Structures are given as structure tokens and as C-alpha cells.
Structure 1
Amino acid sequence: PGYVHVDVKYLPQMHDESNRRYLFVAIDRATRWVFVQPKANKTAASAQAFLKALHKACAIRISKVLTDNGKEFTDRLFTSKEREPSGNHEFDRLCQELGIEHRLTQPRTPRTNGMVERFNGRIADVLKTHRFNGREDLEQTLLRYVALYNQQLPQSALGSKTPMQAMKNWYQTHPHLFHKRLYDRPGCDT
């Protein structure tokens, strides 16, 4: 736990919006716990705000974050010919401040970040199978789906446990990996 994959998903523009929006998505590699947040744009400031919210919401100590090479996450492909990140990007500086190692995928290899890409596919399925009354309805549906996913949907990769059950199991055996107690978290206690 603590190795988190992060990506951005485009959201459809609703009839009551003037611009399309974006869904920032994070998923923990070991527990499959998911955190999402809709944003008006996909700037470095939005990525930074998302990481702050993720850090606050996640009970696990985040040690590593894996992102693609988008401008919101890195300056790797845009500042130098060596194609190395400078470490001065806003997202990198926040990672350093929070004690998180920021790792990047190789360019044009979405499979490397496949766990979050797969969850984005689940979000795409929700978007295809629902009709939304507007922006607020879309946001509420996505947040309800994430709560359902984390607390009620067993995952075969977790031995038919939900992400919250997996997180609680990790907490029982490795409490030092957490900075919050899980006793008051939703989900089944075993």
C-alpha cells in the first residue's frame, strides 16, 4: 500500500456547462482503493490540488505516485532535450514536500499505468450507461460509483474482498503504513 497510480479522464460536456471538465483519478496498487475529484481544467494547479486532497483523504501513507507525462504532472518532455524532469514542476515540488516519490511512465506506454487506465474504463462504462440531467447529476453519480466500488464491489485481484476490506486487512498486519486509523471507515469489519 502507498503506491498510487494517478491519471486524468475527460468528462463529457453537459448541457448546463460552457466547457468540458476532467476527472482526476487515483488508485492504490495494493488495496485498489480509489479516489476521484472532478476539476474544471487539467492544469498543474489542478493536479496539485488533487494531490493535496488525495493526501488528506487517503488513510495510507502515500510513498510513490505514478503518473503519465502530461503537462499537469511533469515538465519532462517540455523543458529539455534530455527528456528528464527538472524537479521544478509544481506537482514535483508538492510530492517532495509531502515525502512522495514521483515516478513517470515511459512516453506512449499507457499499459504501464494500466490499473488506473482500467478504472477509467469502468468510469467510461458508467458514462455510457447513464443519462445525466446536468453537471451536478454527473458528479454525484461518479462519486456514488466510487463509494460503491470502494465499499461494496468485491475484486477478484483482492481475493473477492472490497478495497476497504483489503485496506482493513493491511491495517491489521501493517499499521505503520497508515497515518489514520480505519476503525471508523465504512465497509464490513471482519
Structure 2
Amino acid sequence: MPFSFRVTHLLTDRGSCFTADAFEAACERHAVQHRKTRPYTPKTNGMVERFNGRVQREVLGITLYSHRDLETALRGFNAAYNRLCQRVLKGLSPEMILRQRLEADPALVNPAYTPLKPGILRKALQIVADAKEVSQPDS
């Protein structure tokens, strides 16, 4: 699933997966400028780490039936998250910020983008509800 925008820069920490030759080659192949955070600067990755922690707590703790269900749940979670207004974005949602940036610089629009199906959030919530019904914790 391509993004609605062209990825031109990528900021990562200095984890071994991000410094590997294959990763660097992929960035070069896609004309993406790879930038790395300074060592020992966890604040730089704060927003990403907060998002990853939330995914881990809210989605990955659920036992799902299949990889397809996991993918649907993650897409639904991402869609919901991107619509939430956030204090760190001055009360705007990530979706609103992205829309503003694409309007300001139309060259960043990805023509290959296909939007999510309209019912993805409802479907994801149903998958999660079904999974929670089946996977009750041991008492």
C-alpha cells in the first residue's frame, strides 16, 4: 500500500537494520535520503516510539486468526490514529497536517496512492471484537 505522499527523506535511529547495506541500497533505489538520529537522543524518536508503544498495547496483544486479520487490524488502527487530534500537533490530526503539506507542495503527492477502503475501521473493530471473544486470559 503506497502512501499518499512521496517519501523523500527518512529519519531512523542507528539500529543495525537501518545501517545495513541492503537498507541503504533500498533508500538509494527509491531516491530517499536516509538521515540518522544523533546517538543517545531518544527525544528525537519520541513520537514514533509513542505510536509503536500504542500499537503494541492496543493491537499486538490480541490473538488474531490470520495474518490478513492482523493486517486489517493494523490498517484500521492506523486510520483511526491518523484522524485523532494530538496535542503535539497543536490540536490537529496527522491526517490534517498531511493534507496541509500536500496542498502546500503538490509535487509531494504520490500518483500511485490508492486510499483505504471506506469500511476498514469498522472491519478492523469487528476482527478485534471477535478475537477478544475467543482469546480470554487465563484465570
Normalised by the size of structure 2, how large is the TM-score?
0.64
Q: Report the residue type matching 2:32 in the other structure.
A: I
Contact 2:2 2:112 in 1 (8 A): no
1:96 CA drift (Å)? 1.5
Q: How does 1:47-62 map to 2 (within 5 A)?
A: 57-62=2-7
What's 2:100 paired with?
169
Q: Which runs of 5+ in 1 are unaligned?
A: 1-55, 76-88
For 2:76 and 2:7, how far apart are their aligned partners in 1? Answer: 24
Q: How does 1:1-190 map to 2 (within 5 A)?
A: 57-75=2-20, 89-127=21-59, 131-136=62-67, 137-150=69-82, 152-180=83-111, 185=115
> Secondary structure of the residue that 1:73 maps to in structure 2?
helix
Q: Report the residue type matching 1:174 in the other structure.
A: D
The structure whose RCO (Cα within 8 Å, separation 6+) is larger is 2
For 1:181 and 1:94, how far apart are their aligned partners in 2? Answer: 19
Q: Report the residue type matching 1:178 in the other structure.
A: V
Q: Which runs of 5+ in 2 are unaligned?
A: 119-139
1:92 CA drift (Å)? 0.8
Give aligned pairs, total.
Answer: 116
For 2:31 and 2:70, how far apart are their aligned partners in 1? Answer: 34
1:63 CA drift (Å)? 1.9
Q: Report the residue type matching 2:3 in the other structure.
A: C
Taking structure 1 as reference, are residues 139 and 175 closer, same or farther at Cα in structure 2, changes over 3 Å only? closer
> Secondary structure of the residue that 1:99 maps to in structure 2?
coil
Taking structure 1 as reference, are residues 123 and 134 closer, same or farther at Cα in structure 2, changes over 3 Å only? same
Deviations 1:68-91 (A, max 9, x none): 22222114xxxxxxxxxxxxx111
Structure with greater proportional helix content? 2
Structure with greater proportional strand content? 1
Percent sequence identity is 34
Contact 2:59 2:73 in 1 (8 A): no
1:116 CA drift (Å)? 0.9
Q: Report the residue type matching 2:4 in the other structure.
A: A
Taking structure 1 as reference, are residues 97 and 167 closer, same or farther at Cα in structure 2, changes over 3 Å only? same
1:135 CA drift (Å)? 4.8
1:65 CA drift (Å)? 0.8
1:57 CA drift (Å)? 1.2
> Secondary structure of the residue that 1:57 maps to in structure 2?
coil
